[in-house]
Structure 1
Amino acid sequence: MRAAITRDGALVVEEVPDPVPQAGQVLVRTLACGICGSDLHALGDPDAFTGIMRRTGGTPHDIRNGIVLGHEYAAEIVDYGPGTVRALPIGTMVCGPPIGFGPQGSGIIGYTPAFPGGFGEYMIIPEGFTMAVPGGLAPEVAALTEPFSVATRAVRRAQMSPTDVAVVLGLGPIGLAVVAALKAKGHGPVVAVDFSPKRRALAERLGADVLIDPAVESPYGRWSSLGVITGTMDRMAAEYRGLKVTDSVIFECVGTPGMLDRVVEGAPASSKIMLVGVCLQPDSIDPGVVAHKELDIRGSFGGSPSEYRQTLRDIADGRIDAGVVITGTTGLDGLKHMFERLGKPDEHAKVIVDPRS
């Protein structure tokens, strides 16, 4: 098959062997695959990316060589491996969480040689995680179920009440997906923050209630107008008086060094801080401020099969208009150039790869 594979830290399009489904696996033809920020990180800083994966029990393969990336996929069933139920007919369009397992071991699809990703013409996926795409949903939209399921998980882990104020910092694909997931669950107000006018406009289309350009004003300057008490003593005084207080949740979707420290400084007392953007470098915060403000910092990574399934229903039923974030498409031959263009936030949000084109 033709695939964009990593060679010496670069993407090279070449012919590679077709993957062969083993026991419990399905062979599929890739119809669409999104470019994820993790793919950009993996090639941009492979040592840090591989180090994080190894320290957290992930796939320990060197991302610079022999990897077919791509884990946000929609595909059609071509064949089944041995020992499969074969519940879905050949030709069915499917998607699923990027979790690979079988006789060859386990790993994240698109980050291990055992499970080549959607930047190739064919993939193998576990039959148990193969989900039929509802009729009428385009493959490029179905492929977005994976990044939007990441947002579904982050919102679930935040354990919010409907009246909590949500601030989403960074409106890349994941930040935009968090905005959409919050609104699909009926949360509001949702404050969307990004330097890019184009990305703020996309957030507005997904339902964001307040848009902030941090070059013009601080994302932490509207707490009072949103009914949030910022100081620890003021909040305690309100609680002692029996007053209803409004909680806040900050979704950090940027993932750059120093960002968490700025969030800790700007967060109101008793806030939850959801780490959704992945920072690959060590960072530091002031633990005294975290303790004094009684801040709750939670990580969130990926999405479970049940969260993936719920997200697919939300997209198919129109509760989430995932296609809004698609700003470009490319074939395999244009993939390397598109990776470079994705570094310009005003040009693209989400780009979809079609290995057939």
Structure 2
Amino acid sequence: MRAAIFRNGAIVVDHIAEPKPGAGQVLVKTLACGICGSDLHARKHAHRMVAMARYSPGRKPMDLKRDVVFGHEFCCEVVDYGPATQRRLKVGTHVCSLPALITPTGPQGIGYSNDNIGGYAEAMLLSEPLLLEVPNGLSPEHAALTEPLAVGVHAVAKANIRGGEVPLVIGCGPVGLAVIAALRLKGLHPIIAADYSPTRRRLAEKMGADVVVDPATTQPYATWAEHAAMSEAEKAARPPFQAHLAALKPALIFECVGVPGLLQQVFEGAPRDARIVVVGVCMETDTSEPMLGIIKELSVQYVLGYTPEEFSASLRLLAEGQVDGAALVTGRVGIDGVAQAFDDLANPEAHTKIIVEPWR
């Protein structure tokens, strides 16, 4: 079968053996797979992913001398079952799954593995217990958005919203847009969003942002402060000791870019007592001034992935039309177009989410 393969630092197209389902596994035809920002980072910084794997017990690092098939945002079609399976879903059923395989030694990831084929291939293996049937006739390209949406849902859940916070989302790529959608569903307003790209600012509004900011012309934190000003009643209700502090509602800042220097910028711009949720995946060594965090008493929460429940809920949100998946998909390519798509995604005015359709 054909696949787009990460080999020697580049994306190449080649033939690989079709996988055979083992115990508890299902052979599926890959219908659609989103290209994730983490895949773009991995192409350039795979060695950092390998180095960091040593800090994650049980995680098997990639061997960069061997082939890897990326792709962890997928929707597939059931083709065949391996032994020791219940066969609860008919052949031809469209399914999504967490990007993991259940094995006797524990879960193994799909997408950054030499052994487990990801979604940039014509077929792959999934674990039967993790399969979720795609409901409501949701199209494969939109069902494939379940995974990135779940990242945003999880980030908002980890923020421990108490009510009354004013959120600021830095970066309106796919992750930032997912965070905005999740904040809207939580009913937290106004949502302030910042991005240099006019296209992504428009998408942020479509996803639920109330105010969008171009950092090239407007300071995001100043705009946030304008919309976070306390009412006179809220000012009067504060304890006497807090009267000398800025009369601002609690700040909830989501860093959704993941490049060196961004966290330091957030530290500099954030108001006192802000809660910062780091969603963007920075794969390079970064620096920040701890004293800024100390002086301002900032809280920093790093997040990764999602729970199975959040993943399932995200699929339902898309299927029920509560999140507009169609607005996020800006391109479709076959296997031969994956390498070019990686380059095209560098232009935020051209693309937000490109879907790989291996049989295209």
* Partner Cα distance (2:119, 2:228) in 1: 45
Q: Does 2:305 match 1:302?
A: yes
Q: SS in structure 1 opposite 2:341?
A: helix
Q: Provide the rounded CA distance (Å) in 2 between the counterparts of 1:85 and 1:240.
A: 64
- How far is the alpha carbon of 1:350 from its aligned partner? 0.4
Instruction: Name which of 290, 298, 316 aligns with 2:293.
Output: 290
Match of 1:208?
Answer: 209
Amino acid at match of 1:4: A
Between 1:97-106 and 1:126-135, the stretch displaced more is 97-106
State the match for 2:147 in structure 1: 146
Q: Which amino acid aligns with 1:54?
A: R
1:135 partnered with 2:136: yes
1:246 maps to 2:256 = no
For 1:11, give the aligned amino acid: I
- Taking every aligned residue pair, what percent have the same amino acid on both sides? 45
Whether the 8 Å CA contact 1:100–1:107 is kept in 2: the answer is yes
Q: Name the structure 2 match of 1:268.
A: 271
> Using the alignment, how far apart are the partners of 1:315 and 1:63 within structure 2?
35
Counterpart residue number, 1:196 = 197
**Does 2:342 correspond to 1:348?**
no
User: 1:232: which partner in 2?
Assistant: none
Q: Secondary structure at the match of 2:310?
A: helix
Which deviates the most, 109-118 or 59-68? 59-68
Q: Which deviates the most, 313-322 or 130-139? A: 313-322
CA displacement at 1:241 relative to structure 2: 6.3
**What is the CA-CA distance between 1:80 and the residue it aligns to?**
1.0
Distance 1:103 1:79, change over 3 A: farther
Whole-Å Cα distance in 2 between the matches of residues 245 and 217 of structure 1? 19
- Listed as ranges, the gaps of 5+ residues in structure 2 are none
Contact 1:330–1:338, Cα closer than 8 Å, also in 2: yes
Q: Is the 8 A contact 2:66 2:114 kept in 1?
A: no
Q: Deviations over 1:33-60 (max 9, x none)?
A: 0000111111112212222233334330
Aligned partner of 2:257: which letter?
A: V
Equivalence for 2:48: 48
- The match for 1:2 is 2
Tell me, in whole angstroms, the C-alpha distance in 1 between the residues paired with 2:128 and 2:239: 52
User: Is 1:259 aligned to residue 262 of structure 2?
Assistant: yes
Give the SS at the match of 1:45.
Answer: helix
* SS of 1:222 mapped into structure 2: helix
For residue 226 of structure 1, what is the aligned residue in structure 2?
227
**Partner Cα separation in structure 1 for residue 203 and residue 104 of structure 2:** 43
Contact 2:24 2:82 in 1 (8 A): yes
Uncovered stretches (5+) of structure 1, i.e. residues with no partner:
230-234
Matched, 1:39 2:39: yes
CA deviation digits over 1:162-195, x for unaligned, max 9? 4311111111111111111111221111111100
Q: Say whether the 8 Å CA contact 1:162–1:188 is kept in structure 2.
A: no
TM-score by length of 2: 0.93
Q: Return closer, same or farther for 1:223/1:14 CA change in 2, 3 Å cut-off.
A: closer
> Is the 2:26–2:81 contact (alpha carbons within 8 Å) kept by the matching residues of 1?
yes
Comparing 69-78 and 94-103, the one that deviates more: 94-103
Instruction: Give the Å deviation of 1:322.
Output: 2.1
Q: Which residue identity does 1:139 align to in structure 2?
A: P
Supply the distance in 2 between the matched residues of 1:63 and 1:96 (Cα, whole angstroms).
26
What SS is found at the alignment partner of 2:342? helix
> Deviation of residue 104 (structure 1)?
7.6
Residues 343 and 64 of structure 1, relative CA distance in 2, 3 Å threshold: farther
2:277–2:303: 8 Å Cα contact kept in structure 1? yes
Q: Partner residue of 1:313?
A: 316
Distance 1:348 1:95, change over 3 A: same
For residues 281 and 239 of structure 2, the distance between their equivalents in structure 1, rounded to whole angstroms, comes to: 35
Structure 1 residues 43, 142: CA separation in 2 closer, same or farther (over 3 Å shift)? Answer: same
Give aligned pairs, total.
351
| Contact kept? 1:329, 1:352, Cα under 8 Å | yes
Displacement of 1:214 in angstroms is 0.3
Deviation at 1:257, TM superposition (A): 0.8
Query: SS of 2:31's equivalent?
Result: strand
Cα contact 2:8–2:64 (8 A) shared by 1: no
Determine the structure 2 residue equivalent to 1:329. 332
Give the equivalent residue in structure 1 for 2:12. Answer: 12
Q: Contact 1:22/1:103 (CA < 8 Å) preserved in 2?
A: no
* Cα distance in structure 2, aligned partners of 1:196 and 1:323: 19
Query: Is the CA contact (8 Å cut-off) linking 1:46 and 1:64 kept in structure 2?
Result: no
Distance of aligned partners of 1:64 and 1:303 in 2 relative to their CA distance in 1, 3 Å threshold: farther
1:203 to partner: Cα distance: 0.7
In 1: Cα distance, 2:277 partner to 2:117 partner = 31
CA, structure 1 residues 290+242, in 2 after alignment: closer, same or farther (shift >3 Å)?
Answer: closer
Superposed CA RMSD = 1.9
